[in-house]
Amino acid sequence: MSSNDTTNLRNFVNQAKALRLLDLNNLKYYYGVNKEPLEIHEKLSLYKGPKFEEELINRKEISNKISLWDPSKDPLVYAIVGVSGVGKSWLTYRIVREALLSEANIKAYAIDDMENFDYPKDRSLLLIDDSRVSESELKEAYKLLIKAVKKQEKEVTGPIIITTTDIDWDTIYKTALNGLNSDEEKERLKSRTVIVNVGKASKDEMHKILDQLLGGKIPISNDLKEKIIENANGLPIILRYFIEGKKAIRQKDIDEIEKDPVKYAAKKIEQFYLFDCKISSRRKEDKKDFLLILALLGAILKTKNVVLGEIDKDALNLIYGEDYEKSYIIKSLDALFNEQKKLKTKQPKIGTIGLTMKGIYTRFPLFETDPIYGEIRPIHNSVKKGYDYLFKSIFESYESEIDDCIKNLRSQMYNVEEYHEVINGILKELERIPQNYFKFFEDYLKNKEKYKRYNNKRKKLAYDILSVEFLHSLWYNKDIFELMALDVLVNIDDIDDKLLHGIVNLLFNDFVLNNINALSNIDDFHKLFLGALKSNDEYVRSRAWENLTKLIDRGMIDKRDSDYFLSLLKSRDEKVRLTAWENLTKLIDRGIVELESVKIRKNYFLSLLKSSNEYVRLTAWADLTKLISKKILGKREDYFLSLLRSSNEYVRLYAWYNVLELMDKGLVDYEKVKERKNYFHSLLRSGSQKIRLTAWYNVLELMDKGLVDYEKVKENRSYFLSLLKSNNEYVRLTAWENLTKLIYKGFIDFDKVKERKNYFLSLLQSENKYVRSRAWENLTKLIDIGILSKDYIKDNK
């Protein structure tokens, strides 16, 4: 490989590491969202253009603009700014989520490296949240603005969305302007940058947030609520800090609220981790515990990604073995536990990681844990700043608002050089942890008996291993690491869907599949895979079935598994059963199950046609003729005819919707279908707008085949006309779109439609861009048939 090739490869790898693709779950965690944010900050001030002129705008309008983004004219950069703790990240999450869920095919990427950033090829939103990058990295964000301006239009695939404070944004923007050479480039940055200002929450909004945080579990009087909200001064983060760790809220708690979130965070760190600095009359050796605790917190806050497996003492004791005494992290966790014991705590809680029926939990106040990938992060950027404030107060400043704590610590602790020695030791240790896990995997697989005593904690160990694998997915020994991690994981009993969700990416890694025989226990792998096929987790189940043929081709699945697959065809879980029937041909074609064994179970598929779950029912109907053509299902005419008069309107609707295809395949007799036409007529006046709309959509095709009566349809036309003014915009839009043919056939009176034209015109101004776009597409058709006139449109443009 030439030096140029090596350089190009290095650049490609660096660019790949600079961006991280976020799905909806990752997005939620990226912006620190535990529950779906409430509808606050609905009206916002937006500043745009070279002079940043103010415009009041609805939040949904911003989402729509982003989802319909045009590289030739729309903003290259959105800055969502406001004071610390005002709810900027929650707002940005909602805006980005709505854009991702829109009709546009958009992907979201977190920018992890400003220096090596480049635009992906697909339509994208490129995100930076100040809580997800260090202060030094945030300052480098000006490079993104310069790159956005200098790129050619066709290379820019989406807007950059930066969420930060007003002050930090001002620095980023001015640095970028100074870094541009030409006036043309500077003007482009000014005209293609939009600032969204997030103001403080209103009193009503703060009430909503507080109620959500309390969740009905913390007793509090209305008077105290009012005082908390008053002291929080429109900053949601203050409420979050205040509720953290509380079992009850009393009057004296109100006095602890500080209006400055940074100083408030410092107080909370002191309260939770330094235990109000009650260190008087301690031995000198004991007092060093505070230094270790402080250094551990500093390392967690300083490191970009820290995961469960790096701070779980149970796991660390295992992977270090006899060398556990050399670990700074273990020493720091022990210090945290020791201090709690000295305070006569029955069992140390802070710093522990455990399992419940709901999954993994961590007890690190002011930090939250990603439930899928196990990453630990502060609940808000002000936690980092609060720590810095506390650190400077202890080691540098002689004036502080937390005097008692600082005086005690300064007089009793070791000096700042020793602190840096400890924190640097922890930082280096965090870097080496994957190598320690690697050594542990080797020892575990060679000496499984030795680890039997850990059986009751092996499930927690699985979460730890997955977190380390996720964090170090670009580790230089990635493939071998993942193969060995999986080899350990398959030995763990009682793997649930949450664990499977993480394991599935290892399970179906091409390197793993190609080296499957290297696993020490093929039987456990086989058992894990079969369990994934019937997982309640949609992602796990679909990935397992997608990879079924690969495992058959590698001999991992064979005819001995026939009974298991046949049992899935009659699973009580309808989605599992449906997926098994959908994949039957793979199993039959490769001789895993026999056709005759499947046929005797066909009633389990047919019952899915009547499922109360719409997704299951629709998918089953879509698969019906395919299974019949493969001779898996027989004719069963009586059964299909019975569905045409089902008492369940949804079942009846989709039976009639598919009846023409059943007739074409010779599965039902024409005359017998015609005898049941009144069961279709009744659908035209259904109380459900959705059923009624679909029935009217289908009526013309059935009419052409002589399966419905013209006069009966006309008798029910008022039920269609009511759809033209439905409160549901999608129903109303679709009714207007299907209007023309019904008028031509004489079912619907032209003048009656004209009377309702304003209900269509309102769709042209819909806030929903999908509805609005389709309405405009339908406008010319309505003009062509005379429902609307060109003059009327001009007068009301």
22-65 pLDDT tens trace: 888 778 878 877 666 677 888 888 888 777 788 888 888 888 88
Q: What is the pLDDT of residue 53?
A: 80
pLDDT band per the 50, 70, 90 thresholds, residue 477: low
pLDDT band per the 50, 70, 90 thresholds, residue 244: low
Q: Which helix (H) or strand (E) holds 54?
A: strand 53-58
pLDDT band per the 50, 70, 90 thresholds, residue 405: low
pLDDT band per the 50, 70, 90 thresholds, residue 12: very low
Alpha helices, DSSP H, located in 134-202? 135-139, 142-150, 166-179, 183-191
Q: Is the dihedral of CA 108, 114, 116, 118 positive or negative?
A: positive
pLDDT band per the 50, 70, 90 thresholds, residue 770: confident
Answer yes or no: is pLDDT of 256 > 70. Answer: no
Pairwise CA distance, residues 241 & 263, whole Å = 11
pLDDT, greater one: 338 or 615: 338
Task: Tell me phi and psi for residue 296, to 5 degrees.
Answer: -60, -45
Q: What is the mean pLDDT of the chain?
A: 81
pLDDT band per the 50, 70, 90 thresholds, residue 708: confident
Q: At what angle do helices 284-302 and 416-446 cross, to 10 degrees?
A: 70
Rounded to an integer, the average pLDDT of 150-172 is: 90
Instruction: Read off the pLDDT of residues 182-210 as tens digits, 9 standing for 90 and up.
Output: 999 999 999 999 999 988 888 888 888 88
Q: What is the pLDDT of residue 311?
A: 92
Instruction: Read off the pLDDT of residues 272-283 as tens digits, 9 standing for 90 and up.
Output: 888 766 544 455
pLDDT, greater one: 231 or 320: 320
Answer yes or no: is pLDDT of 297 > 90. Answer: yes
Amino acid at 758: N
Residue count of the chain, please give it.
797
pLDDT, greater one: 400 or 221: 221
Pairwise CA distance, residues 728 & 738, whole Å = 16
Considering the entire predicted model, what is its pTM? 0.62
Q: Is the dihedral of CA 606, 608, 614, 620 positive or negative?
A: negative
Please enumerate in sequence order all residues whose Cβ is within 8 A of that of 213, keeping only pairs 6 or more positions apart, or say none.
239, 240, 243
Rounded to an integer, the average pLDDT of 767-780 is: 80
Which residue in the block uniquely carries the two structure tokens 């081709």? Answer: 553
Q: What is the DSSP string of 429-498?
A: HHHHHHHHHHHHHHHHHH-GGGGGGGGGGHHHHHHHHHHHHHHTTT-TTHHHHHHHHHHHHTT-S---HH
Record the tokens describing residue 129, joined without a space.
């949240």
The C-alpha torsion from 591 through 595 and 601 to 602, rounded to 10°, is 120
List 21's β-bridge partners, or say none. 109
Q: What is the pLDDT of residue 794?
A: 61
Q: What is the pLDDT of residue 129?
A: 92
Q: Which helix (H) or strand (E) holds 653?
A: helix 649-657
Record the tokens describing residue 558, joined without a space.
């064979």
Q: What is the pLDDT of residue 11?
A: 45
Q: How many CA atoms lie within 13 A of 759 on its CB side?
A: 22
Rounded to an integer, the average pLDDT of 63-69 is: 86
Amino acid at 412: Q
Q: What is the pLDDT of residue 80?
A: 94
pLDDT band per the 50, 70, 90 thresholds, residue 399: very low
Please enumerate in sequence order all residues whose Cβ is within 8 A of that of 656, keeping only pairs 6 or more positions apart, or say none.
644, 679, 680, 683, 695, 698, 702
Q: What is the pLDDT of residue 469?
A: 80
Sheet containing strand 306-307, edge to edge, reads 306-307, 375-378, 367-369
Q: Is the dihedral of CA 252, 257, 263, 264 positive or negative?
A: positive
Identify whether the C-beta of residue 527 lies closer than 8 Å to the C-beta of residue 493. no
pLDDT band per the 50, 70, 90 thresholds, residue 103: low
Identify whether the C-beta of residue 157 lies closer than 8 Å to the C-beta of residue 124. yes
From the list 508, 292, 510, the residue with the least C-alpha distance to 421 is 292
DSSP 81: E
Pairwise CA distance, residues 115 & 43, whole Å = 35
From the list 370, 329, 320, the residue with the least C-alpha distance to 351 is 329
Pairwise CA distance, residues 90 & 101, whole Å = 17
Average the pLDDT over each of 230-234, 459-463, 639-643 and give the range with the smallest value: 230-234
DSSP 57: E
Identify whether the C-beta of residue 684 lies closer than 8 Å to the C-beta of residue 716. yes
- pLDDT over 70, % of the chain: 86
Identify whether the C-beta of residue 98 lies closer than 8 Å to the C-beta of residue 63. yes
Most trustworthy range by pLDDT among 356-365, 524-533, 787-796? 524-533
Q: What is the pLDDT of residue 262?
A: 73
Q: What is the pLDDT of residue 781?
A: 84
Q: Is the dihedral of CA 420, 426, 430, 431 positive or negative?
A: positive
Rounded to an integer, the average pLDDT of 116-127 is: 89
Average the pLDDT over each of 36-45, 143-152, 519-528, 703-712 and give the range with the smallest value: 36-45
Identify whether the C-beta of residue 25 lies closer than 8 Å to the C-beta of residue 372. yes
Q: What is the pLDDT of residue 275?
A: 76
Identify whether the C-beta of residue 602 lies closer than 8 Å to the C-beta of residue 610. no
Pairwise CA distance, residues 189 & 76, whole Å = 8
Please enumerate in sequence order all residues whose Cβ is within 8 A of that of 58, keeping only pairs 6 or more positions apart, or say none.
42, 43, 44, 767
DSSP 422: H
Rounded to an integer, the average pLDDT of 290-304 is: 88
pLDDT band per the 50, 70, 90 thresholds, residue 525: confident
Query: Using alpha carbons only, what angle is made at residue 261 by residues 134 and 108, rounded to the nearest 5 degrees?
Result: 45
pLDDT band per the 50, 70, 90 thresholds, residue 764: confident
Answer yes or no: is pLDDT of 505 > 90. Answer: no
